[in-house]
Each structure stands twice: as structure tokens, then as C-alpha cells.
A and B are shown apart, each in its own frame.
Chain A
């Protein structure tokens, strides 16, 4: 596709359930990022992939959060045993992966997660 796509666009789940959020980056982009935006706040970095490996997982808030990427393409962010504080918009971005990370990141529309 022309841009970064994310699915689902909205997800409502019950506390304690696991959720999977998907990101399809722009074709040819080797770098992929996940961010979280809580209501009324700025974006927080979660994790960065270069190819299929994740050199920086420092932003993941707890061990309930994990992410993987396969085929240098699709990435999945998994949240286990969701808590109400996980409610946020989860944004994915991709970039060409050039210039040591200084290239422009293109954002998807986000997945709005609501934990009841």
C-alpha cells in the first residue's frame, strides 16, 4: 500500500485479556517503530525494529508487552493480561532505515485500544 496501515483501527477488550495489534509498514522500509499515545498526551516510544531484530526495547512499559517482526515487513505488538492503564492509541511508524535513524518516520493511523 501507499502508506503505513494498522489493524484493527479500534479494539475494545476486557481487563486481563491478551490483544494483538498489527502494523504493515511501507514496502521497502527496513525500520519500524511502535509508539503509544495516552489520551491528551504526547507519544511515547515503545520499540524499534531494524529488519527483524529489535535493538531497542527500552520503551516497553512492562514484560506484558512484546513485539515481533517477520519478513522485514509486518509487525505485531502483543499486550498480555491487559490493564486499564494500557488504554491508549498505539501508533506504528516506518522509515527507510538509513542515516543511523535520522530519516523521516511515516506514521500509520493508529489502533485505539480500550480496556474495560
Chain B
């Protein structure tokens, strides 16, 4: 069965701190995709990244970076030099041959000025 676990329910940091959001997943498939979505207070889901299971290269996009490690079934997300606008709920998700997105329970990030 597929499962995504985001153990951190809520994280609070001060602006300019770095913060890492953890994501651990389970799937029996060898082909799958992992996603991160941001859900700001307005409620819409904003796509951040998609990573396929055959590409373990880490990715950096501006202040965002992602560390994918198949050996530990983890796909962690780091925000460098956090800003108040980064405050949101962040969801990690998995899609495999079952084609439905399986979401983690989300991590609420609060960045204080």
C-alpha cells in the first residue's frame, strides 16, 4: 500500500533561518513520482516540484532545494533563508501505478519576522 508520512505537524522559524521539511514515503512500485505542493492561507494548491523515481539528483530552485534518497525512501524539502511569504502548509505526495495522488498530512510552516 502507498503511504506518505510528514512527521512534522508544525514548524516555526524566524525569518532568514533555513528549514527542512521531512517526507517519507512507501510504495511497492519501482516507477513513481514524488511531489511537493504549497498551500498558502488562500487555499489553492501550488505545485512546487515533481521528481521521478529514477532521478535521484538533488534539485535546487532559488531558495528551494530537494533531497531525494531512495535508500531511505525520503524526499525532503529545504527552504534557505526563509521569508514570511513562505508561511503555508506544505504537502508531500506520491503517485504510482495507482494514478491517485497520495498526500501526506502536511507540515504547517510559520515564518516569523
Interface residues of A (CB under 8 A from B): 31, 33, 35, 41-45, 48, 56, 59, 89, 91, 93, 100-102, 104-107, 109-110, 112
Known contacts being A42-B106, A43-B91, A110-B43, is A105 close to B101, with CB within 8 Å? yes
Known contacts being A102-B31, A102-B32, A107-B45, is A33 close to B101, with CB within 8 Å? yes
Q: Which of B76-113 contact A (CB under 8 A)?
A: 91, 93, 95-106
Known contacts being A42-B91, A42-B104, A43-B91, is A107 close to B99, with CB within 8 Å? no
Pick the residue among A35, A101, A106, A110 that contacts B97 (CB under 8 A).
A101
B63 at the interface (CB under 8 A from A): no
Complex contacts, A107 vs chain B, CB 8 Å: 37, 44-45, 47
Pick the residue among B43, B96, B97, B105 that contacts A41 (CB under 8 A).
B105
Complex contacts, B93 vs chain A, CB 8 Å: 43
Interface contact A100-B97, CB-CB below 8 Å? yes
Complex contacts, B37 vs chain A, CB 8 Å: 107
Q: Which residue of A lies closest to B44 (CB)?
A: A109
A contact face: mostly helix, strand, loop, or mixed: strand
Interface residues of B (CB under 8 A from A): 31-33, 35, 37, 43-45, 47, 50, 52, 91, 93, 95-106
A89 to chain B, nearest CB (A): 7
Report how far A13 CA is from B59 CA in the complex, Å.
Answer: 45
